Amino acid sequence: MEFIKEAGVLFEIGLILVVGYLFGNLANLFKLPRVSGYIAAGVLMSPSLLNIIDQDFLDKSSIITHASLSIITFLIGSSLAWEKVKKLGKTIAFITLGEAEIAFLFVILAMGMYLFFTGNLDIKMLIALSLVFGALASPTDPTATLAVIHEYRAKGVLTTTVLGVAALDDATGIINFVLGYSVATSLISGEELEILSVFKDISFQIGGAVFLGFFMGYLMHFLGRFAEERKEIVTVTVGILFLTFSIAHAVGVDELLSTMTTGITLVNVDRENEKFKEPLENYIEDVIFTAFFVVGSAFLNLKVLMQYLPMVAVFVASRFAGKFTGVYIGGHLSHAPEKVKKYLALSLFPQGGIVIGLALLAYQNPEFRDVGVILVNIVIGATAIHEFLGPVFSEIALKKAGEISKRV
């Protein structure tokens, strides 16, 4: 693969887009979502298999994933006009709380029992590690689901609920991780847990992201008034989103929540918000999805997945059981439509990059030096399963709910 290195980064990006496109078409031939093809292409070209996408490229690929996520989360937010979600507000809130917190509890219990019977950890480390795994169970990666929704032009109550839950899920995931990680760290370090400090951290990450997104949404609305041509609107939109994501990262608030809030703000203050969304959906979205999933999947290591398969299976199964139970309970309490209670959990199955980032944060903590490698490898292995099956499960859910339109 020396030629690829000599050809440079631009060659690798071109290869990623073209191979991703071909594999997307191949997936469609087998009646699978295009995103399944992108993921297969990424794993095949990864350093652990053909090494076409080498590790040096992946180490410097954050600009691709960050740029992609800023646009993808904006599109999720911009799908949540108040008129569309106000009837489902109670359902979205109850389901989000149920699926996030019950998945958190299920994984803590399941991983704790597994580690107790199979590991040689002292009780403090066992509880701490279980708490971290539980905290990592809450977040859902809405990217794969959004890709399927847009590919099949899905519309309906399930689609709207999925997008609404995805918007709130990031916030609940932050709360659970900060709480679980803080308790775990204090437990194994012997230091006293400072509740006020934890509360401040959560408030800053969530409140700061919402404030930044709100401000940038209004700024996009204001600047868009002077953009008359479509190409100018694309420039303004992408520029604002890149700035929002970067500022959020620099000041330490949640990047995904900030760009998502930008989209929510814009769609509810600008009557002509479609002029911002349509160019992205029609001309840029497919490039973004292809690059994001091929590059993201190249991080996955099938050898790691096989090495830790039993533990990975416990994590994946208990997380999904928690999501399914939480969706059903939340849906029942909020009197959600039956198809939402039955099929929403399938659309919440995907889980990707954000949990790997959180796992790496725990891995870098000296307190977890003895178990950090296990933690990261389990999460990466679980991500492989979540990313492979997630798009397929999302398609099944939308089909069962009768919300898939004819593909355009």
- The reported pLDDT for the residue numbered 193 is 67
Most confident of 12-21, 289-298, 377-386: 12-21
Closest CA to 182 of 367, 369, 387: 367
Q: Are 120 and 307 in contact (CB under 8 A)?
A: no
List Cβ neighbours of 178 (8 Å cut-off, separation of 6 or more).
198, 201, 202, 205
Is the distance from CB of 70 to CB of 259 less than 8 angstroms?
Answer: yes
Tens of pLDDT, residue by residue over 91-118, are 888 999 999 999 999 999 999 999 898 8
Higher pLDDT, 242 or 286: 242
Q: How far is Cα 186 from Cα 149, in angstroms, rounded to an integer?
A: 42
Mean pLDDT of 283-309: 81
Return the CATH fold of 63-400.
Na+/H+ antiporter like fold (1.20.1530)
List CB contacts of 369: < 8 A, sequence separation 6 or more: none
pLDDT at 300: 74
Helix (H, G, I), strand (E, B) or coil at 273: coil
Taking CA atoms, 387 is separated from 42, 325, 351, 394, in Å, by 11, 21, 7, 11
pLDDT, mean of residues 162-177 = 80
Full 3-state SS string of 78-142: CCCCHHHHHHHHHHHHHHHHHHHHHHHHHHHHHHHHHHHHHCCCCHHHHHHHHHHHHHHHCCCCH
- The mean per-residue pLDDT over the stretch 218-234 comes to 83
pLDDT by residue (tens digit) across 303-341?
777 778 899 999 999 999 999 999 999 999 999 989 999
**Who wins on pLDDT, 402 or 87?**
402
Round to whole Å and give the CA distance between 315 and 364: 21
Does the pLDDT at position 146 exceed 80?
A: no
144 token code pair: 């794969």
> Residue 357: its pLDDT value, please?
61
Taking each helix axis as running N to C, give the angle between helix 9-29 and helix 285-298, from 0 to 180 degrees, rounded to the nearest 10: 100
Task: Report the pLDDT value the prediction gives residue 408, as an integer from 0 to 100.
Answer: 44
For residue 309, the tally of other CB atoms under 10 A from its CB is 12
End-to-end CA gap in the chain: 38
Angle (CA) 324 167 288, round 5°: 105
Residue with tokens 């597994």, as numbered in its chain: 114
Sign of CA dihedral 355, 348, 254, 53: positive
> What is the model's pLDDT at position 5?
67
* Pick from 66-80, 157-171, 345-359: least confident: 345-359
More confident residue, 167 or 125: 125
**Domain segments of the chain as ranges:** 63-400
CB neighbourhood size of 119 (10 A): 15
Q: Is 284 helix (H, G, I), strand (E, B) or coil?
A: helix
- Coil/strand/helix, residue 200: helix
* pLDDT beyond 90 at 298: no
Q: Which residue has the tokens 């292995």?
A: 381
**Element (DSSP H or E) covering residue 369:** none
d(CA 379, CA 353): 10
pLDDT tens, residue by residue, 194-211: 778 878 888 888 899 999
CA dist 255 and 236 (Å) reads 19
* pTM score: 0.78
Q: In the structure, what pLDDT confidence band is assigned to residue 380 with cuts at 50, 70 and 90? A: confident
More confident residue, 4 or 332: 332
Query: How much is the mean pLDDT over the chain?
Result: 84
Percent of the chain with pLDDT over 90: 25
218 band by pLDDT with thresholds 50, 70 and 90: very high
